[in-house]
């Protein structure tokens, strides 16, 4: 498991998803959301305690409008998992979650394969089971820092 942190107010969730291969091959649980889309349909989709969405639907939503995410946790799950099974566990959250800043890094939800976190509107954290996925994100984002190294500073 590996993670990275990107501290840059100009980075967007959409840009992160653009660099993640196979994002459409997962189902996504979006939780702890604070965001400001102008599009009424997107706002309605995200105005819940959580949003359960296919990867294809999520990518379409992100391409439709670029908007600010203050808080939010995007957790990727294998498509064969049912939402009921996922909801047997606590919902991931960003605001107040202290484990981001502790090593070894880990994904909050035990069944998730990848976690992308919008943290306070200025940081994006990406944690994945597959180290190659993090290497790809880091190559595409000059401001990305290995999360475990960051946590040791």
d(CA 9, CA 3): 19
Supply the DSSP symbol for 100: G
d(CA 99, CA 117): 13
- CA-closest candidate to residue 124, choices 20, 44, 51: 20
pLDDT of res. 135: 94
State pLDDT tens for residues 32-86: 999 999 999 999 999 999 999 999 999 999 999 999 999 999 999 999 999 999 9
State pLDDT tens for residues 80-136: 999 999 999 999 999 999 999 999 999 999 999 999 999 999 999 999 999 999 999
């Amino acid at each position: 498991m590996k993670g990275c942190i990107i501290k840059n107010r100009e980075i967007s969730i959409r840009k992160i998803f653009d660099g993640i291969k196979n994002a459409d091959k997962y189902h996504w649980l979006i939780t702890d959301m604070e965001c400001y889309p102008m599009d009424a349909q997107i706002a309605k989709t995200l105005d819940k305690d959580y949003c359960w969405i296919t990867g294809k639907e999520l990518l379409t939503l992100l391409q439709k409008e670029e908007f600010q995410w203050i808080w939010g946790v995007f957790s990727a799950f294998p498509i064969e998992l049912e939402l009921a099974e996922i909801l047997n566990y606590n919902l991931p959250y960003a605001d107040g979650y202290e484990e981001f800043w502790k090593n070894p890094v880990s994904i909050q939800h035990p069944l998730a394969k990848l976690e992308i976190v919008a943290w306070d509107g200025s940081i994006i954290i990406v944690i994945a089971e597959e180290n190659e996925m993090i290497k790809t994100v880091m190559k595409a984002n000059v401001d990305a820092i290995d999360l475990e190294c960051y946590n040791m500073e």
